[in-house]
Structure 1
Amino acid sequence: MAGLRDYLPHADALLSLTAEDLGLVLLELMQAVRGPVFTSSEFEMPLWNANVPQYPPHKRRPVGRAVAEAWQWLENEGLVMADPDQPNGYFCLTRKGAALKSPANIEAYRYGKLLPDGLLQEKLATKVRPMFLRGDYDVAVVQAFKQVEVAVRGAAELPEDLTGQKLMREAFHPDKGPLRDKLAPPGERQALMELFSGAFGLARNPLSHRNVAVSRVEAAQLIGLASYLLTMAGWLGVLR
Protein backbone atom coordinates (compact mmCIF):
# COMPACT_ATOMS: atom_id res chain seq x y z
CA MET A 1 0.00 0.00 0.00
CA ALA A 2 1.35 3.43 -0.93
CA GLY A 3 2.42 5.78 1.84
CA LEU A 4 3.37 9.40 2.29
CA ARG A 5 6.95 8.73 1.19
CA ASP A 6 5.71 7.52 -2.21
CA TYR A 7 4.10 10.93 -2.74
CA LEU A 8 6.70 13.01 -0.91
CA PRO A 9 10.08 11.27 -0.99
CA HIS A 10 11.85 14.07 0.92
CA ALA A 11 10.95 15.69 4.22
CA ASP A 12 11.46 19.16 2.73
CA ALA A 13 8.92 18.37 0.02
CA LEU A 14 6.36 17.47 2.68
CA LEU A 15 7.16 20.58 4.70
CA SER A 16 6.73 22.80 1.64
CA LEU A 17 3.04 21.87 1.33
CA THR A 18 0.22 23.85 2.86
CA ALA A 19 -2.06 22.13 5.34
CA GLU A 20 -4.71 21.87 2.62
CA ASP A 21 -2.40 20.28 0.05
CA LEU A 22 -0.93 17.81 2.53
CA GLY A 23 -4.40 17.05 3.82
CA LEU A 24 -5.59 16.13 0.36
CA VAL A 25 -2.59 13.83 -0.08
CA LEU A 26 -3.55 12.15 3.19
CA LEU A 27 -7.15 11.88 2.03
CA GLU A 28 -6.07 10.06 -1.11
CA LEU A 29 -4.07 7.64 1.04
CA MET A 30 -7.04 7.15 3.37
CA GLN A 31 -9.13 6.03 0.42
CA ALA A 32 -6.61 3.21 -0.07
CA VAL A 33 -6.61 2.04 3.56
CA ARG A 34 -7.87 -1.54 3.71
CA GLY A 35 -9.89 -1.10 6.90
CA PRO A 36 -12.69 1.36 7.64
CA VAL A 37 -10.79 2.97 10.54
CA PHE A 38 -7.25 4.28 10.87
CA THR A 39 -4.96 6.35 13.06
CA SER A 40 -2.68 9.23 12.15
CA SER A 41 0.36 7.16 13.14
CA GLU A 42 -0.39 4.71 10.33
CA PHE A 43 0.53 7.44 7.88
CA GLU A 44 3.36 9.14 9.76
CA MET A 45 5.33 6.30 11.38
CA PRO A 46 6.39 4.60 8.10
CA LEU A 47 8.33 7.78 7.30
CA TRP A 48 10.67 7.05 10.21
CA ASN A 49 10.55 3.26 10.35
CA ALA A 50 12.32 3.05 6.99
CA ASN A 51 15.30 4.99 8.45
CA VAL A 52 16.11 6.71 5.16
CA PRO A 53 18.30 9.82 4.84
CA GLN A 54 15.52 11.72 3.08
CA TYR A 55 13.66 11.77 6.41
CA PRO A 56 16.40 12.52 8.97
CA PRO A 57 15.68 12.46 12.71
CA HIS A 58 15.98 16.23 13.14
CA LYS A 59 13.01 16.67 10.76
CA ARG A 60 10.75 14.45 12.81
CA ARG A 61 9.18 17.17 14.92
CA PRO A 62 8.39 19.65 12.09
CA VAL A 63 7.08 16.82 9.92
CA GLY A 64 4.91 15.57 12.78
CA ARG A 65 3.50 19.06 13.27
CA ALA A 66 2.81 19.43 9.55
CA VAL A 67 0.95 16.11 9.46
CA ALA A 68 -1.03 17.07 12.56
CA GLU A 69 -1.92 20.42 10.99
CA ALA A 70 -3.07 18.69 7.79
CA TRP A 71 -5.09 16.20 9.84
CA GLN A 72 -6.76 19.06 11.69
CA TRP A 73 -7.62 20.67 8.33
CA LEU A 74 -9.29 17.43 7.22
CA GLU A 75 -11.37 17.39 10.39
CA ASN A 76 -12.31 21.06 10.02
CA GLU A 77 -13.39 20.41 6.43
CA GLY A 78 -15.62 17.57 7.58
CA LEU A 79 -13.70 14.95 5.57
CA VAL A 80 -12.60 12.78 8.51
CA MET A 81 -13.93 12.38 12.04
CA ALA A 82 -13.22 10.48 15.21
CA ASP A 83 -14.83 7.06 14.83
CA PRO A 84 -17.70 6.94 17.35
CA ASP A 85 -17.40 3.16 17.72
CA GLN A 86 -13.66 3.04 18.45
CA PRO A 87 -11.33 4.20 21.25
CA ASN A 88 -9.75 7.64 21.15
CA GLY A 89 -7.27 8.09 18.33
CA TYR A 90 -9.19 6.13 15.71
CA PHE A 91 -10.71 7.96 12.78
CA CYS A 92 -12.90 7.21 9.79
CA LEU A 93 -13.91 9.03 6.64
CA THR A 94 -17.10 11.06 6.78
CA ARG A 95 -19.68 10.58 4.03
CA LYS A 96 -18.30 13.72 2.43
CA GLY A 97 -14.75 12.37 2.57
CA ALA A 98 -15.75 8.91 1.35
CA ALA A 99 -17.42 10.47 -1.70
CA LEU A 100 -14.02 11.74 -2.91
CA LYS A 101 -13.06 8.33 -4.23
CA SER A 102 -10.48 9.18 -6.89
CA PRO A 103 -7.67 11.65 -7.53
CA ALA A 104 -10.00 13.36 -10.01
CA ASN A 105 -12.65 13.80 -7.30
CA ILE A 106 -10.06 15.22 -4.95
CA GLU A 107 -8.76 17.65 -7.58
CA ALA A 108 -12.31 18.79 -8.28
CA TYR A 109 -12.77 19.42 -4.55
CA ARG A 110 -9.53 21.42 -4.49
CA TYR A 111 -10.64 23.57 -7.43
CA GLY A 112 -14.14 23.98 -6.03
CA LYS A 113 -12.75 25.60 -2.89
CA LEU A 114 -11.57 28.49 -5.04
CA LEU A 115 -15.17 29.13 -6.01
CA PRO A 116 -17.44 28.08 -3.11
CA ASP A 117 -21.19 27.84 -3.63
CA GLY A 118 -21.88 30.24 -0.79
CA LEU A 119 -20.22 33.17 -2.59
CA LEU A 120 -22.23 32.77 -5.79
CA GLN A 121 -25.66 33.76 -6.91
CA GLU A 122 -27.80 30.65 -7.35
CA LYS A 123 -27.80 30.88 -11.16
CA LEU A 124 -24.02 31.00 -11.25
CA ALA A 125 -23.71 28.17 -8.73
CA THR A 126 -25.90 25.86 -10.82
CA LYS A 127 -24.94 26.88 -14.37
CA VAL A 128 -21.40 28.24 -14.20
CA ARG A 129 -19.63 26.48 -11.33
CA PRO A 130 -19.82 23.03 -13.03
CA MET A 131 -18.03 24.51 -16.07
CA PHE A 132 -15.34 25.91 -13.76
CA LEU A 133 -14.87 22.54 -12.04
CA ARG A 134 -14.42 20.87 -15.44
CA GLY A 135 -11.62 23.31 -16.23
CA ASP A 136 -13.56 25.27 -18.90
CA TYR A 137 -12.46 28.54 -17.38
CA ASP A 138 -13.00 30.88 -20.33
CA VAL A 139 -16.45 29.43 -21.05
CA ALA A 140 -17.39 29.72 -17.38
CA VAL A 141 -16.43 33.40 -17.26
CA VAL A 142 -18.34 34.21 -20.45
CA GLN A 143 -21.42 32.38 -19.20
CA ALA A 144 -21.23 34.18 -15.85
CA PHE A 145 -21.30 37.57 -17.55
CA LYS A 146 -24.05 36.38 -19.86
CA GLN A 147 -26.20 35.84 -16.78
CA VAL A 148 -25.42 39.41 -15.71
CA GLU A 149 -26.36 40.70 -19.16
CA VAL A 150 -29.68 38.84 -19.15
CA ALA A 151 -30.50 40.05 -15.64
CA VAL A 152 -29.66 43.69 -16.41
CA ARG A 153 -31.66 43.69 -19.64
CA GLY A 154 -34.66 42.17 -17.92
CA ALA A 155 -34.54 44.46 -14.89
CA ALA A 156 -34.09 47.56 -17.05
CA GLU A 157 -36.69 46.41 -19.60
CA LEU A 158 -34.39 47.24 -22.49
CA PRO A 159 -34.53 45.74 -26.02
CA GLU A 160 -32.80 42.49 -26.98
CA ASP A 161 -30.52 44.18 -29.50
CA LEU A 162 -28.73 46.07 -26.72
CA THR A 163 -25.78 43.98 -25.52
CA GLY A 164 -22.52 44.23 -23.64
CA GLN A 165 -21.11 47.65 -22.83
CA LYS A 166 -23.85 49.50 -24.70
CA LEU A 167 -26.47 47.77 -22.58
CA MET A 168 -24.63 48.61 -19.38
CA ARG A 169 -24.24 52.28 -20.30
CA GLU A 170 -27.92 52.53 -21.14
CA ALA A 171 -29.14 50.66 -18.06
CA PHE A 172 -26.91 52.51 -15.59
CA HIS A 173 -26.66 55.92 -17.24
CA PRO A 174 -26.21 58.32 -14.30
CA ASP A 175 -28.97 60.68 -15.47
CA LYS A 176 -31.52 58.52 -17.28
CA GLY A 177 -30.62 54.87 -16.76
CA PRO A 178 -33.54 52.80 -15.45
CA LEU A 179 -31.20 51.00 -13.02
CA ARG A 180 -29.33 54.08 -11.80
CA ASP A 181 -29.33 54.55 -8.04
CA LYS A 182 -31.43 57.69 -7.77
CA LEU A 183 -30.42 58.24 -4.14
CA ALA A 184 -26.68 58.14 -4.82
CA PRO A 185 -24.58 61.26 -5.56
CA PRO A 186 -23.84 61.94 -9.27
CA GLY A 187 -20.25 60.72 -8.96
CA GLU A 188 -21.34 57.38 -7.56
CA ARG A 189 -23.96 56.94 -10.28
CA GLN A 190 -21.25 57.57 -12.85
CA ALA A 191 -18.96 55.08 -11.13
CA LEU A 192 -21.72 52.45 -11.11
CA MET A 193 -22.15 52.74 -14.86
CA GLU A 194 -18.40 52.55 -15.39
CA LEU A 195 -18.15 49.51 -13.10
CA PHE A 196 -20.65 47.50 -15.14
CA SER A 197 -19.44 48.77 -18.51
CA GLY A 198 -15.78 48.33 -17.62
CA ALA A 199 -16.33 44.81 -16.34
CA PHE A 200 -17.85 43.80 -19.66
CA GLY A 201 -15.21 45.60 -21.69
CA LEU A 202 -12.28 44.11 -19.81
CA ALA A 203 -13.51 40.73 -18.54
CA ARG A 204 -16.20 39.49 -20.91
CA ASN A 205 -15.52 41.00 -24.35
CA PRO A 206 -11.95 39.71 -24.90
CA LEU A 207 -13.00 36.15 -24.02
CA SER A 208 -16.00 36.34 -26.35
CA HIS A 209 -14.07 37.48 -29.41
CA ARG A 210 -10.62 35.86 -29.29
CA ASN A 211 -8.61 33.13 -27.60
CA VAL A 212 -7.44 34.41 -24.23
CA ALA A 213 -5.73 32.20 -21.67
CA VAL A 214 -7.47 32.38 -18.29
CA SER A 215 -5.98 30.75 -15.22
CA ARG A 216 -8.06 28.93 -12.64
CA VAL A 217 -7.56 31.71 -10.08
CA GLU A 218 -8.37 34.47 -12.58
CA ALA A 219 -11.53 32.67 -13.64
CA ALA A 220 -12.67 32.30 -10.02
CA GLN A 221 -12.06 36.00 -9.40
CA LEU A 222 -13.96 37.07 -12.53
CA ILE A 223 -16.90 34.78 -11.77
CA GLY A 224 -16.96 36.25 -8.26
CA LEU A 225 -17.12 39.73 -9.82
CA ALA A 226 -20.00 38.62 -12.06
CA SER A 227 -21.83 37.33 -8.99
CA TYR A 228 -21.41 40.69 -7.27
CA LEU A 229 -22.71 42.53 -10.35
CA LEU A 230 -25.65 40.16 -10.55
CA THR A 231 -26.54 40.92 -6.94
CA MET A 232 -26.34 44.67 -7.54
CA ALA A 233 -28.44 44.45 -10.70
CA GLY A 234 -31.15 42.57 -8.84
CA TRP A 235 -31.12 45.02 -5.94
CA LEU A 236 -31.33 48.08 -8.22
CA GLY A 237 -34.08 46.42 -10.25
CA VAL A 238 -36.19 46.08 -7.12
CA LEU A 239 -35.65 49.77 -6.33
CA ARG A 240 -37.02 50.95 -9.69
Structure 2
Amino acid sequence: MPRLKDIYPTTIQLCDAPLLDLSEAVLQVLGSQLQGSQKAECAHNFLSNVLTDYDRSELAALACSESWSWLYSNGFICQHPISDSPWMTLSRLGCKHYEQSTPLKSWVEDRQLPEELLHPSLRSAALNLFKQEMFDTAVFEAFKTLEVSIRKAALLSDEWIGTKLTTHAFAPKIGPLTDKKAESGEQQALMQLMSGAIGSYKNPQSHRHVGLEASEAREMIIMASHLLGIVDSRRAS
Protein backbone atom coordinates (compact mmCIF):
# COMPACT_ATOMS: atom_id res chain seq x y z
CA MET A 1 0.00 0.00 0.00
CA PRO A 2 1.58 3.33 -1.03
CA ARG A 3 2.13 6.04 1.56
CA LEU A 4 2.59 9.76 1.12
CA LYS A 5 6.07 9.23 2.52
CA ASP A 6 6.89 7.11 -0.54
CA ILE A 7 5.83 9.94 -2.86
CA TYR A 8 7.18 12.86 -0.83
CA PRO A 9 10.05 11.54 1.32
CA THR A 10 10.66 14.83 3.15
CA THR A 11 8.50 17.45 4.80
CA ILE A 12 9.90 20.13 2.51
CA GLN A 13 9.01 18.14 -0.61
CA LEU A 14 5.46 17.61 0.62
CA CYS A 15 4.92 21.24 1.66
CA ASP A 16 6.35 22.53 -1.63
CA ALA A 17 4.11 20.29 -3.75
CA PRO A 18 1.43 22.13 -5.77
CA LEU A 19 -2.08 21.61 -4.41
CA LEU A 20 -3.26 19.51 -7.36
CA ASP A 21 -0.19 17.28 -7.26
CA LEU A 22 -0.55 16.69 -3.53
CA SER A 23 -4.31 16.12 -3.90
CA GLU A 24 -3.59 13.51 -6.56
CA ALA A 25 -1.16 11.77 -4.20
CA VAL A 26 -3.69 11.85 -1.36
CA LEU A 27 -6.32 10.39 -3.69
CA GLN A 28 -4.02 7.55 -4.69
CA VAL A 29 -3.14 6.78 -1.07
CA LEU A 30 -6.80 6.85 -0.05
CA GLY A 31 -7.81 4.73 -3.03
CA SER A 32 -5.26 2.06 -2.18
CA GLN A 33 -6.21 2.18 1.48
CA LEU A 34 -9.93 1.77 0.79
CA GLN A 35 -9.52 -1.14 -1.62
CA GLY A 36 -8.89 -3.55 1.25
CA SER A 37 -10.99 -4.39 4.28
CA GLN A 38 -11.11 -0.73 5.31
CA LYS A 39 -13.98 0.96 3.49
CA ALA A 40 -13.90 4.42 5.06
CA GLU A 41 -11.46 6.95 6.46
CA CYS A 42 -11.78 10.18 8.40
CA ALA A 43 -9.67 13.31 8.10
CA HIS A 44 -8.53 13.10 11.73
CA ASN A 45 -7.04 9.63 11.32
CA PHE A 46 -5.49 10.46 7.95
CA LEU A 47 -3.86 13.65 9.24
CA SER A 48 -2.68 11.90 12.40
CA ASN A 49 -0.75 9.50 10.17
CA VAL A 50 0.72 12.47 8.31
CA LEU A 51 1.90 14.00 11.58
CA THR A 52 3.50 10.70 12.55
CA ASP A 53 5.26 10.26 9.20
CA TYR A 54 6.50 13.84 9.00
CA ASP A 55 7.90 14.42 12.50
CA ARG A 56 4.79 16.16 13.86
CA SER A 57 5.03 18.86 11.19
CA GLU A 58 1.92 21.02 11.37
CA LEU A 59 2.77 22.50 7.96
CA ALA A 60 2.71 19.00 6.42
CA ALA A 61 -0.62 18.26 8.09
CA LEU A 62 -2.02 21.62 6.92
CA ALA A 63 -0.97 20.94 3.32
CA CYS A 64 -2.65 17.53 3.41
CA SER A 65 -5.74 19.02 5.05
CA GLU A 66 -5.98 21.47 2.14
CA SER A 67 -5.76 18.56 -0.30
CA TRP A 68 -8.40 16.61 1.62
CA SER A 69 -10.71 19.65 1.47
CA TRP A 70 -10.06 20.09 -2.26
CA LEU A 71 -10.94 16.46 -2.97
CA TYR A 72 -14.14 16.78 -0.95
CA SER A 73 -15.29 20.10 -2.45
CA ASN A 74 -14.68 18.81 -5.99
CA GLY A 75 -16.53 15.53 -5.46
CA PHE A 76 -13.66 13.04 -5.33
CA ILE A 77 -14.43 11.92 -1.78
CA CYS A 78 -17.79 11.92 -0.04
CA GLN A 79 -19.60 10.90 3.12
CA HIS A 80 -19.61 7.11 3.47
CA PRO A 81 -23.24 6.05 2.82
CA ILE A 82 -23.58 3.67 5.78
CA SER A 83 -21.08 5.14 8.26
CA ASP A 84 -21.53 7.98 10.68
CA SER A 85 -19.93 11.36 10.06
CA PRO A 86 -17.06 12.11 9.59
CA TRP A 87 -16.20 8.84 7.83
CA MET A 88 -15.49 9.36 4.14
CA THR A 89 -14.91 7.20 1.08
CA LEU A 90 -14.09 7.67 -2.59
CA SER A 91 -17.00 8.94 -4.66
CA ARG A 92 -17.79 7.42 -8.05
CA LEU A 93 -15.70 10.19 -9.61
CA GLY A 94 -12.88 9.48 -7.18
CA CYS A 95 -12.98 5.75 -7.93
CA LYS A 96 -12.87 6.45 -11.66
CA HIS A 97 -9.81 8.67 -11.36
CA TYR A 98 -8.10 6.31 -8.95
CA GLU A 99 -8.62 3.32 -11.24
CA GLN A 100 -7.63 5.16 -14.41
CA SER A 101 -4.84 7.20 -12.78
CA THR A 102 -6.12 10.28 -14.61
CA PRO A 103 -4.13 13.38 -13.58
CA LEU A 104 -6.25 15.81 -11.60
CA LYS A 105 -4.58 18.66 -13.46
CA SER A 106 -6.09 17.39 -16.73
CA TRP A 107 -9.50 17.05 -15.09
CA VAL A 108 -9.38 20.66 -13.88
CA GLU A 109 -8.18 22.03 -17.21
CA ASP A 110 -10.88 20.17 -19.12
CA ARG A 111 -13.62 21.58 -16.96
CA GLN A 112 -12.55 25.16 -16.58
CA LEU A 113 -15.23 27.31 -18.14
CA PRO A 114 -15.40 30.50 -16.03
CA GLU A 115 -18.81 32.14 -16.00
CA GLU A 116 -17.26 35.56 -16.49
CA LEU A 117 -15.91 34.50 -19.90
CA LEU A 118 -19.38 33.77 -21.21
CA HIS A 119 -22.07 35.91 -22.76
CA PRO A 120 -24.90 36.38 -20.22
CA SER A 121 -27.32 34.32 -22.31
CA LEU A 122 -25.05 31.27 -22.00
CA ARG A 123 -24.59 31.40 -18.23
CA SER A 124 -27.65 29.32 -17.45
CA ALA A 125 -28.47 26.47 -19.82
CA ALA A 126 -25.16 25.97 -21.66
CA LEU A 127 -22.93 26.40 -18.61
CA ASN A 128 -25.07 24.16 -16.41
CA LEU A 129 -25.10 21.44 -19.07
CA PHE A 130 -21.32 21.72 -19.40
CA LYS A 131 -20.91 21.29 -15.64
CA GLN A 132 -23.09 18.16 -15.85
CA GLU A 133 -20.68 16.85 -18.52
CA MET A 134 -23.46 16.91 -21.15
CA PHE A 135 -21.03 18.41 -23.64
CA ASP A 136 -22.89 17.74 -26.90
CA THR A 137 -26.08 19.27 -25.54
CA ALA A 138 -24.22 22.25 -24.05
CA VAL A 139 -22.69 23.10 -27.44
CA PHE A 140 -26.04 22.67 -29.20
CA GLU A 141 -27.72 25.02 -26.72
CA ALA A 142 -24.96 27.60 -27.11
CA PHE A 143 -25.25 27.76 -30.89
CA LYS A 144 -29.04 27.56 -30.80
CA THR A 145 -28.88 30.64 -28.58
CA LEU A 146 -26.64 32.29 -31.16
CA GLU A 147 -29.06 31.39 -33.96
CA VAL A 148 -32.05 32.81 -32.07
CA SER A 149 -30.10 35.96 -31.24
CA ILE A 150 -29.20 36.53 -34.90
CA ARG A 151 -32.82 36.02 -35.97
CA LYS A 152 -34.15 38.47 -33.40
CA ALA A 153 -31.47 41.09 -34.08
CA ALA A 154 -32.14 40.89 -37.82
CA LEU A 155 -35.91 41.06 -37.24
CA LEU A 156 -36.50 37.86 -39.21
CA SER A 157 -39.21 35.24 -38.85
CA ASP A 158 -38.76 31.73 -37.46
CA GLU A 159 -38.52 30.25 -40.95
CA TRP A 160 -35.00 31.65 -41.18
CA ILE A 161 -32.70 29.00 -39.74
CA GLY A 162 -29.14 27.69 -39.99
CA THR A 163 -26.80 28.92 -42.68
CA LYS A 164 -29.73 30.35 -44.66
CA LEU A 165 -30.23 32.73 -41.74
CA THR A 166 -26.59 33.72 -41.31
CA THR A 167 -25.88 34.30 -45.00
CA HIS A 168 -28.89 36.58 -45.20
CA ALA A 169 -28.33 38.44 -41.92
CA PHE A 170 -24.64 39.09 -42.64
CA ALA A 171 -24.76 39.31 -46.42
CA PRO A 172 -22.09 41.76 -47.65
CA LYS A 173 -23.43 45.29 -48.25
CA ILE A 174 -27.12 44.40 -47.79
CA GLY A 175 -27.43 42.21 -44.69
CA PRO A 176 -29.43 43.69 -41.78
CA LEU A 177 -26.54 42.91 -39.40
CA THR A 178 -23.74 43.77 -41.81
CA ASP A 179 -21.35 46.55 -40.81
CA LYS A 180 -21.68 48.72 -43.89
CA LYS A 181 -18.55 50.66 -42.93
CA ALA A 182 -16.37 47.56 -42.92
CA GLU A 183 -14.24 46.58 -45.91
CA SER A 184 -16.05 44.20 -48.27
CA GLY A 185 -13.62 41.37 -47.57
CA GLU A 186 -14.27 41.70 -43.84
CA GLN A 187 -18.03 41.64 -44.43
CA GLN A 188 -17.67 38.44 -46.44
CA ALA A 189 -15.38 36.88 -43.83
CA LEU A 190 -17.79 37.56 -40.96
CA MET A 191 -20.70 36.09 -42.91
CA GLN A 192 -18.63 32.96 -43.54
CA LEU A 193 -17.55 32.81 -39.90
CA MET A 194 -21.14 32.96 -38.64
CA SER A 195 -22.31 30.43 -41.23
CA GLY A 196 -19.41 28.11 -40.56
CA ALA A 197 -19.98 28.22 -36.82
CA ILE A 198 -23.69 27.42 -37.09
CA GLY A 199 -23.10 24.76 -39.74
CA SER A 200 -20.16 23.11 -38.00
CA TYR A 201 -21.11 23.33 -34.34
CA LYS A 202 -24.90 23.52 -34.09
CA ASN A 203 -26.15 21.32 -36.90
CA PRO A 204 -24.12 18.17 -36.13
CA GLN A 205 -25.27 18.26 -32.49
CA SER A 206 -28.91 18.39 -33.57
CA HIS A 207 -28.64 15.43 -35.97
CA ARG A 208 -26.52 12.88 -34.11
CA HIS A 209 -24.50 12.10 -31.00
CA VAL A 210 -21.08 13.60 -31.62
CA GLY A 211 -19.33 12.63 -28.40
CA LEU A 212 -17.40 15.80 -27.61
CA GLU A 213 -14.65 15.99 -25.02
CA ALA A 214 -14.77 18.72 -22.37
CA SER A 215 -11.91 20.68 -23.91
CA GLU A 216 -13.60 20.72 -27.34
CA ALA A 217 -16.95 21.78 -25.90
CA ARG A 218 -15.33 24.56 -23.88
CA GLU A 219 -13.68 26.05 -26.97
CA MET A 220 -16.92 25.89 -28.97
CA ILE A 221 -18.98 27.51 -26.23
CA ILE A 222 -16.45 30.32 -25.86
CA MET A 223 -16.64 30.86 -29.64
CA ALA A 224 -20.44 31.05 -29.44
CA SER A 225 -20.05 33.61 -26.66
CA HIS A 226 -17.74 35.74 -28.82
CA LEU A 227 -20.13 35.62 -31.77
CA LEU A 228 -23.06 36.56 -29.53
CA GLY A 229 -21.11 39.67 -28.55
CA ILE A 230 -20.78 40.62 -32.22
CA VAL A 231 -24.51 40.16 -32.74
CA ASP A 232 -25.17 42.40 -29.72
CA SER A 233 -22.99 45.13 -31.17
CA ARG A 234 -24.85 44.99 -34.48
CA ARG A 235 -28.19 45.11 -32.71
CA ALA A 236 -27.09 48.18 -30.79
CA SER A 237 -25.96 49.93 -33.95
Q: What's the TM-score bracket when you normalise by the shorter of the two chains?
A: 0.5 to 0.7
Name the CA distance, whole Å, in 2 between partners of 1:44 and 1:127.
Answer: 48
Name the CA distance, whole Å, in 2 between partners of 1:121 and 1:44.
Answer: 50
**Matching residue's letter, 1:131:** L
Match of 1:179 among 171, 177, 180: 177
CA RMSD of aligned residues (A): 4.0
* Structure 1: gaps (5+ residues): 9-17, 50-86
Change (3 A) 1:226 1:38: same
**Matching residue's letter, 1:193:** M
Q: Determine if the alignment matches structure 1 residue 34 to structure 2 residue 43.
A: yes
In structure 2, the residue matched to 1:210 is 208
Q: TM-score, normalised by structure 2?
A: 0.63
Name the CA distance, whole Å, in 1 between partners of 2:163 and 2:51.
Answer: 55
Q: Deviations over 1:78-106 (max 9, x none)?
A: xxxxxxxxx87763659x84643535688
Name the CA distance, whole Å, in 1 between partners of 2:73 and 2:53.
Answer: 27
In structure 2, the residue matched to 1:148 is 146
Change (3 A) 1:122 1:34: same
SS at 2:124 equivalent: helix
Change (3 A) 1:5 1:37: closer
Q: Deviations over 1:1-42 (max 9, x none)?
A: 985479x7xxxxxxxxx9574244267589x66349969x93
Q: Deviations over 1:156-197 (max 9, x none)?
A: 111111011111111111111111112211110111100000
- Whether contact under 8 Å (1:38, 1:90) holds in the other structure is yes
Q: Count residues in correspondence.
A: 188
| Cα deviation, residue 237, structure 1 | 1.0
In structure 1, the residue matched to 2:24 is 25
Match of 2:134 among 133, 136, 139: 136
Name the CA distance, whole Å, in 2 between partners of 1:153 and 1:27.
Answer: 51
The correspondence of residues 1-240 of structure 1 with structure 2, limited to 5 A, is 3-4=3-4, 19=18, 21-25=20-24, 34-35=43-44, 42=50, 45=53, 91=62, 93=66, 97=70, 99-100=73-74, 102=77, 103=91, 110=108, 113-239=111-237
- Whether contact under 8 Å (1:141, 1:223) holds in the other structure is yes
SS at 2:123 equivalent: helix
**Matching residue's letter, 2:191:** M
Name the CA distance, whole Å, in 2 between partners of 1:43 and 1:157.
Answer: 67
- Whether contact under 8 Å (2:166, 2:195) holds in the other structure is yes
Name the CA distance, whole Å, in 2 between partners of 1:182 and 1:148.
Answer: 21
Name the CA distance, whole Å, in 2 between partners of 1:237 and 1:176.
Answer: 15
